[in-house]
Amino acid sequence: DTEVTQTPKHLVMGMTNKKSLKCEQHMGHRAMYWYKQKAKKPPELMFVYSYEKLSINESVPSRFSPECPNSSLLNLHLHALQPEDSALYLCASSQPDRGIYNEQFFGPGTRLTVL
Amino acid sequence: GENVEQHPSTLSVQEGDSAVIKCTYSDSASNYFPWYKQELGKRPQLIIDIRSNVGEKKDQRIAVTLNKTAKHFSLHITETQPEDSAVYFCAAPRYSSASKIIFGSGTRLSIRP
């Protein structure tokens, strides 16, 4: 299995809602990432988990809360979002190797709309 | 600051012609340079990558060249086809404060029939 899966594909939520995005991979990768991508822009890194520990938080607002329950799963909990948070949220995974980068495999993304 | 610059932002070529996209990076410690293709509404997918111990890598119609001295790398697509139409992103690691990939701003490639 060489795929990263994400659910849901689309999500519409109000500013007072609480929702979660889910990501799963079964490639044995021990690094997982959340990216935010606005239209016509490159993916923008939000969080990195390495061996199930949060290793990078790119100064993301606390209304985004990541969670890595195990080596295959990555969640992004959303609460009190703003309309400007509407974007495509991409999950990715890779195999960490000290000092050596390996290919990141991206999921199909969740298109989030905040009303 | 540490970033990756990508040019051009849009590129239109006749089907069958070649396309070249260029990127420059600032972190001299960078040693891995991937190129991603993102079709409309789809996920980014790696099409080719190169490590700093080689100067060129080819995979059928796609090639990447790396000039470490000048800190730039380029994507070359030959004999372009309609299915090559997409947005292409270059990327490079940033080591100075935290290890992560920095993406270029993207190039929208259109292939004219």
Which residues from B are below 8 Å from A when comparing CB atoms? 31-32, 34, 42-46, 49, 89, 93, 98-101, 103-106
Residue B93 has pLDDT above 70, yes or no: yes
A56:B45 CB<8 A = no
Residue B99 has pLDDT above 70, yes or no: no
Return the percentage of chain B with pLDDT > 90, whole number.
79
* Confidence category of residue A1, pLDDT binned at 50, 70, 90: low
Distance from the A69 Cα atom to the nearest Cα atom in chain B, whole angstroms? 22
- Report pLDDT for A58: 87
Torsion angle in degrees (nearest 10) through CA of B3, B8, B10, B11: -140
* Interface residue A40 vs chain B (CB under 8 A): yes
DSSP designation for A3: -
* Whether B43 and A107 lie within 8 Å, measured CB to CB: yes
Q: Percent of chain A beyond pLDDT 90?
A: 83
Q: Do A42 and B103 touch (CB under 8 A)?
A: yes
User: Per residue in B18-65, pLDDT tens?
Assistant: 999 999 998 888 889 999 999 998 999 999 999 988 899 999 999 999
Is the pLDDT confidence value at B4 over 60?
Answer: yes
Quote the minimal CA–CA distance from B100 to chain A in Å: 8
A8: closest CA of chain B, how far (Å) = 15
**Which of these, A7, A47, A43, lies nearest to A24 by C-alpha position?**
A7
Q: How far apart are CA A78 and CA B108, in angstroms?
A: 31
Q: Which two tokens stand for residue B108?
A: 């929208």
Mean pLDDT to the nearest integer, B83-88: 98
Q: In 10 A of CB A77, how many CB atoms?
A: 13
C-alpha span between A72 and A32 (Å, rounded): 9
**B81 compared with A55, residue with greater pLDDT:** B81
- CB-based contact B106 A90, cutoff 8 Å: no
Q: Which of A16-25, A99-108, B56-65, B81-90 has the lowest mean pLDDT?
A: A99-108
- Interchain CB distance below 8 Å, B32 and A90: no
Percent of chain B with pLDDT over 70: 94
pLDDT, tens only, A47-85: 999 999 998 888 899 999 999 999 999 999 999 999 999
Facing residues of A113 across strands? A12
Statement: residue B98 has pLDDT above 60: no
The answer to whether A43 and A74 have CB atoms below 8 angstroms apart is no
Partners of A43 in the beta sheet?
Answer: none
Cβ distance B66 to B56 under 8 Å? yes
Residues A2-41: tens digit of each pLDDT: 699 999 999 999 998 999 999 999 999 999 999 999 999 9
Q: Is B82 helix (H, G, I), strand (E, B) or coil?
A: helix
B31 vs A112: CA distance, rounded Å? 34
Q: What pLDDT score was predicted for residue A99?
A: 66
Of all residues in chain A, the one with the smallest CA distance to B48 is A103
Per-residue confidence (pLDDT) for residue B96, from 0 to 100: 56
- pLDDT score of B52: 85
